[in-house]
Structure formats: C-alpha cells, structure tokens
Structure 1
Amino acid sequence: MKTVTIHTDGACKGNPGPGGYGVVMVSGKHRLELSGGFQRTTNNRMELLAAIVALEKLNTPCAVTLLSDSRYLIDAMTKGWLRGWKARGWVTASKQPVKNPDLWQRLEAAAAPHEITWKWLRGHAGHRENERCDVLAVAASVGPDRAVDAGFPE
C-alpha cells in the first residue's frame, strides 16, 4: 500500500466570508499542492474541504497520515463524533442538526478506501508544510476564480 502524507488548512476572511483551502501531499519523491477558493463560506467548511479534495485525489487505497490544525476535523474523525452524528441521523448529542452534513458525508466516502491516521498540529507554529497550506488557502480565498460554495446555506 502506497504511503501518503497530507497536510491541509482552510482560511476564511470573516466567518462567513471569502474562503479557501490549501493542501500539500507528499509520497516518496512526489509532491502535489492543491488549493481552491470560494466567494462565501466558513473556515470549518474550508478545513473539511481541504481533507476531502486531498483524499479524493488518491486513485488507489493508501496508507495516509493526514495532518490538520483543525480540531473540528481531527476530533470528529478520532473521537467518534462522525459515527455518532451519522447514527443519530445527522443530529448532535445535544439534539442539534450537524453543521456541514454535505461535507461530512463526502469526507466519509473519500476516507473509506484508505487507512488514515488523523493528526492534529498547532497552526501557525512554524510547521513548514502547514504554513505552506495556509499560504495556499489564503491566496485562494482572495483569488479571482473563487467558486460558489453550493453547500453553504445563506
């Protein structure tokens, strides 16, 4: 099984506001950077979308280490939140609708073929690849080709 290290970050100017995601994927000697921007979204949506886009880019099952500075993402995947939300019909333990169910469902599908180790790291702490993801995400959030985030409810 091929091993891949994925670094992700999301950015949003205002929350909600213009946003973007950045990804750095490394496998052996190969390195790929991905980014995308949206006209109006939230930081949490961009954090999720970064992970989704990276995992969807993999065309065979891989052993993945995914690093993110988003507790929202990492805790949902490591503490069983996603399983609980799904089991309760996309309702939180406090009986509130889960935010971003479209992206959680997409993330679950993208993650399914892979063996993933989810790791949190402190953002803006000098981690080279996380800093690069931040640069990519911020640049995408202000870029001219920002898409409409169709899943973002106004």
Structure 2
Amino acid sequence: MKKLKIFADGSCLKNPGPGGYCSIITDGEKKAIIKGSEKNSTNNRMELTAVIKALESLKKSPYEIELYTDSNYVVNGINSWLEKWIKNNWKTSSGKPVENQDLWKKLYELLQKHKVKAFWIKGHSGHPENEYCDKIAKQEALKVKDEKK
C-alpha cells in the first residue's frame, strides 16, 4: 500500500464567519496543495473540510495515510469518536446529535477507502507544513471576507 502524509488546517475569521482551509498531500517527493473557502462557516467545519477535500482529491486507493492536524476535534473524531457515534446513531455519549454530522458522514465514507491514522501537532509551533497550511487557510478566508456581498 502506497504511503502518503496529509497536513491539514482550517481557519475562520469569526466563529461563525468567513472560513478557509488548506491541505498538503505528499508522498515524500511530490506535493499537492488543496485549498478553498466558504463565506460562512466555523473553525471545526473548516478543519474537517481540509481533510475531506484532501481525501477526495486522491483518485487511487487505498493509501496508508498519516494525517497531521492541529485540531484535536478532528484527531479525536477519527481515532476515537466516529465508531461510537455510528453505533449510537450519530449521537454523542451525552445523547445529543453529533455536530457537523454532514461532514463527519462524508469523512467516514472517505476513510473507508484508506488506512488513516490521525496525529495531533501543536499549532503555531514552527512545524513547516502546519504553518504553511495555517497561512493559506487564513488567506483563503480573507478572500471571501473581502468579496462584495
């Protein structure tokens, strides 16, 4: 199984507000950058979207993927919560509906095609790919903030 690393980050200028995302996909030699924005979103939605868009861009499968993000929400969701949510009919352990369920369902579907392990990296700690994704995600959010309404 071919191995890839994905670095992903999302940004929101207000929460909710204009949002942007960025992912870097690399096999160690080549890199692809996935980026975009939404006029009205949240930090968590942009973090999830960064991962979803990266996985959607992979035309071949399966891959063994190491996913790096500064979002504990995404890491815990992938590594721990998703299976429990599905067993609980998309309810949290407290019985409330899972937030961002539409994105989690889409992400779950994409995760079935690959072997993905998510790793948390501290944001704003000098990690080159994370810093780059953070910068681009903010730029993407600013683009839609500045568009005429």
Give the structure-2-normalised TM-score. Answer: 0.93
Name the counterpart of 1:50: 50
Unaligned runs of 5+ in 1: 147-154
**Structure-2 separation of matches of 1:85 and 1:62:** 24
Give a deviation string over 1:89-144, Cα, whole Å, max 9, x none: 11111011110000000000111111112110000100000000001100111114
Give a deviation string over 1:31-54, Cα, whole Å, max 9, x none: 111111110100000000101111
Give secondary structure in 1 for the equivalent of 2:45.
helix
Name the counterpart of 1:74: 75
**Structure-2 separation of matches of 1:118 and 1:46:** 16
After TM superposition, the structure 1 = structure 2 runs for residues 1-154 of structure 1, keeping only pairs within 5 Å, are 1-60=1-60, 61-79=62-80, 81-144=81-144
**Structure-2 separation of matches of 1:129 and 1:72:** 19
Give a deviation string over 1:8-37, Cα, whole Å, max 9, x none: 000001100100101111113211111111
The answer as to whether partners of 1:123 and 1:130 remain within 8 angstroms in 2 is yes
Give secondary structure in 1 for the equivalent of 2:67.
strand
Q: Where does structure 1 differ by over 4 angstroms across 4 or more consecutive aligned residues?
A: none
**Structure-1 separation of matches of 2:109 and 2:144:** 30
**Equivalent AA in structure 2 for residue 125 of structure 1:** S
Give a deviation string over 1:72-103, Cα, whole Å, max 9, x none: 00011112x11111111111110111100000
The answer as to whether partners of 1:9 and 1:21 remain within 8 angstroms in 2 is yes
**Structure-2 separation of matches of 1:34 and 1:52:** 10
- Amino-acid identity (%): 40
Aligned residues: 145
Superposition CA RMSD, Å: 1.4
Give secondary structure in 1 for the equivalent of 2:123.
coil
> Are residues 41 and 97 of structure 1, via their aligned partners in 2, closer, same or farther at CA, if it must alter by over 3 Å?
same
**Structure-2 separation of matches of 1:136 and 1:19:** 11
